[in-house]
């Protein structure tokens, strides 16, 4: 039996998937706030796969590294010679 307020579709999904799908849709400033929750949240929102998934939904934004450098990454580029991130200074 479904509990009140929970969509039956979400009942069969692991919490990690539901949280991931919410986090990748948040605005960048909110993701930064989520990183302050704890080490696990910081690690989860700092992985390359998370950053790419989040960037897919925020196409107008660059990816910014922890060192303060602005980096660009176009994972859809078919002519790319390598898959490294490049500094745009």
Q: Express each pLDDT in 26-55 by its tens digit.
A: 988 899 898 998 898 888 888 888 888 888
Locate tokens 């500094």: which residue? 87
14 CB-contact burial (10 Å; exposed 0-12 / middle 13-18 / buried 19+): exposed
Ranges of each domain in the chain: 14-87
CB count within 10 Å of CB 19 equals: 14
pLDDT at 1: 47
pLDDT at 14: 73
> Residue 2 — very low, low, confident or very high, per pLDDT cuts 50/70/90?
very low
Identify which of 2-6, 55-59, 83-87 has the greatest average pLDDT.
55-59
């Amino acid at each position: 039996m479904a509990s009140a307020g929970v969509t039956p579709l979400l009942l069969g999904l692991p919490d990690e998937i539901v949280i991931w799908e919410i986090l990748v849709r948040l605005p960048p400033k909110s993701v930064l706030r989520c990183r302050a929750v704890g080490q696990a949240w910081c690690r989860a929102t700092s992985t390359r796969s998370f950053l790419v998934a989040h960037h897919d939904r925020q196409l107008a934004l660059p990816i910014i590294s922890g060192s303060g450098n602005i980096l660009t990454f176009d994972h859809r580029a078919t002519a790319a010679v390598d898959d490294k991130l490049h500094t745009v200074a």
